[in-house]
Structure formats: C-alpha cells, structure tokens
Amino acid sequence: MDTDFIVKHLHSPTDAQVDHMVALADRAYGQNHPSQKAMVGGDWSLHPILLRAMLRAGALEDVIYVVMNKHTEEIVTVSLWFPPGRQLFSTDDQKALGFNDFMTKISPEAKKWWSTTYVTLLRDFRRDIFSDEEGTRRWWCPWFTTDPNFQQRGFGTALITTIYNKAALHGGFLGLMTDREVNVPKYLAMGFGIRGRINADAPTGDFPVICLTREH
Ligand SMILES: CC(C)(COP(=O)(O)OP(=O)(O)OC[C@H]1O[C@@H](n2cnc3c(N)ncnc32)[C@H](O)[C@@H]1OP(=O)(O)O)[C@@H](O)C(=O)NCCC(=O)NCCS
C-alpha cells in the first residue's frame, strides 16, 4: 500500500466523516449489489439511510476501521468488524440510531422478506457451516468498501491484514459474506477461502450468498 495511507481504527467519527463514508459506500456498492437492493426493497433512495444506520450502529460499538490518507485524512476504504459475540443491529441501542426509522420507510414486502426469510436463511446457513466454538472466535464484517477511484491499489488487502492480525492475537479468524461472484477472486487474493454457499430468494431477484473466512 502507498505509504501516504494508513489503516486506522476510527473512534467517534465526525458528522462530515459519516457523510463521506456513506457517499463512498453508496458509490462503491452501486445499484447492482443484489443483497443491498433487496434490503431497500429496490428503492435506492433509501440506500444512504440504511448505510448511515449501519455506520452509526458501528460507531456506537466502536467497530469502524478505515484506510485514510495520513496527510489529508481522506478516507478511501471503510469497513465494520464486529468482534466475537457482537453483531450489527443486535441491540435496541444500535437500532435506535437509524435502523428503526429505516424499517418504517421500506415496503411491507421488503420488511417481511428481510425480517423473516433473510434473517432465518442467514442464521441457519451460519449454523450449518460454523461450529459453536468457531462462533466464539469469529470476527464478522457486514460492510467493506473501497472508493471506486481507489480500488485495486492494495487498500482492502492492507485493512484485512491489520484486522486479521488483531483477531489472530487471541486465536480469532475473519468471516464475511458476499453476494457477487466478482468479489470472490478478490477475497481469495486477500487470503480468504470459501466456507460455504447458498442461494437467497428475494422479491428484487435471487442472489448467491458466499461465505468466506480467513483463518491463517
Ligand atoms: C471488495 C473491495 C472492498 C476490495 O477493495 P480494494 O481496495 O480494491 O482491494 P485490493 O486493492 O486490496 O485488491 C484485493 C485483491 O483483489 C484483486 N482484485 C481487485 N479487483 C479484482 C477483479 N475485478 N477481479 C479479480 N481480482 C480483483 C486485486 O488485484 C487484489 O489482488 P492482488 O493482491 O493479488 O493484486 C472493493 O472491490 C469494493 O469496494 N467493491 C465494491 C463493494 C463491494 O462489493 N464490497 C464487498 C462487499 S462483501
């Protein structure tokens, strides 16, 4: 990675940084990201609202990790990494920071799909492919984006290396899911392996759910 850039655990982001990270991820995910499309019920005007809710929940849990330019402090890569035992939108305090409001805005169909079908599918999938013991060592990433203008410059890899080293200190490993085949070779290049794969049916279109882990 370019030496002008550093990986940073971002504590208490400013409002301007939150705005920047939401806009960055909205561009990076784009409108062809099938799981995000399903979660907003196909209404992309809601996507920044969802991203903001995720980020504010992540800030509350202090799990935001970024790559930034050390001179300008411009953030180019954004991720959330929950340590074992903690999850996105798993507490009322997290949900109060935008998620509850977001849920009142999506269509009843999208809300039903997300809160029943998708949640159950992911829970059962994870239970099938991870042991309980692994669950106590698994660091989980629900958000990973590099600004499209800065992709393929090693920023994602540098961030993953930092988080992996942090997790491995206590015997942990990294896990995430992706819904786009194009991401698989990127994660394989970052040292991940495929743990499992299923298909998700959504009103906005089916998509694959590919789980990858980095364990060494
Ligand atoms: C996934 C993502 C975060 C990776 O970030 P990045 O900063 O571009 O990552 P890197 O530059 O470290 O690239 C990682 C590896 O993937 C490779 N790679 C990047 N794009 C690739 C592509 N389209 N096909 C194959 N390999 C690719 C890189 O060459 C690199 O491998 P190398 O070290 O062997 O050269 C970024 O592509 C992204 O934001 N994508 C859009 C949002 C998204 O889908 N996020 C993932 C959600 S699960």
What are the pLDDT digits (tens) for 18-62?
A: 999 999 999 999 877 899 999 999 999 999 999 999 999 999 999
Strand, coil or helix: what is 199? strand
Whole-number Å distance between alpha carbons of 126 and 130: 6
Taking the centre of ligand 1 as the mean of its atom positions, its distance from the CA of residue 186, in whole angstroms, is 5
The number of C-alpha atoms within 13 Å of 34 and in the hemisphere containing its C-beta is 20
Are 152 and 77 spatial neighbours (Cβ–Cβ below 8 Å)?
no
Question: Residue 159: which residues within 8 A CB-CB, separation 6 or more?
Answer: 7, 65, 66, 67, 77, 79, 144
- CATH domain 5-214 topology: Aminopeptidase (3.40.630)
Among residues 66, 117, 125, 60, the alpha carbon closest in space to that of 87 is found at: 60
pTM: 0.96
Mutation probe of ligand 1 site: the residue of 79, 150, 151 with most atoms within 8 A of C-beta:
151
Residue 100 backbone dihedrals phi, psi, to 5 degrees: -60, -40
Hunting for tokens 């890899």 — which residue is that?
157
Ligand 1 proximity of 180 Cβ (cutoff 6 Å) = yes
What are the Cα distances from residue 147, in Å, to 21, 27, 163, 165, 203?
A: 9, 7, 19, 24, 29
pLDDT of amino acid 208: 97
The pLDDT value recorded for residue 32 is: 77
Low-confidence ranges of the chain (pLDDT < 70): none
Ligand 1 lined by 83 (C-beta under 6 Å): no
Residue 155 and residue 163 in contact, taking contact as beta carbons nearer than 8 Å: no
Query: Which residue puts its alpha carbon closest to atom 48 of ligand 1?
Result: 178
* 41 Ramachandran zone, left/alpha/beta (phi>0; psi -120 to 50): left
pLDDT, position 1: 78
Euclidean distance between CA atoms 139 and 87, whole angstroms: 10
Rounded to the nearest angstrom, the distance between the alpha carbon of 185 and the centre of ligand 1 is 8
Supply the pLDDT for residue 30: 86
Q: Distance of CA 117 to CAs 32, 38, 109, 113, 136, Å? A: 21, 12, 11, 5, 25
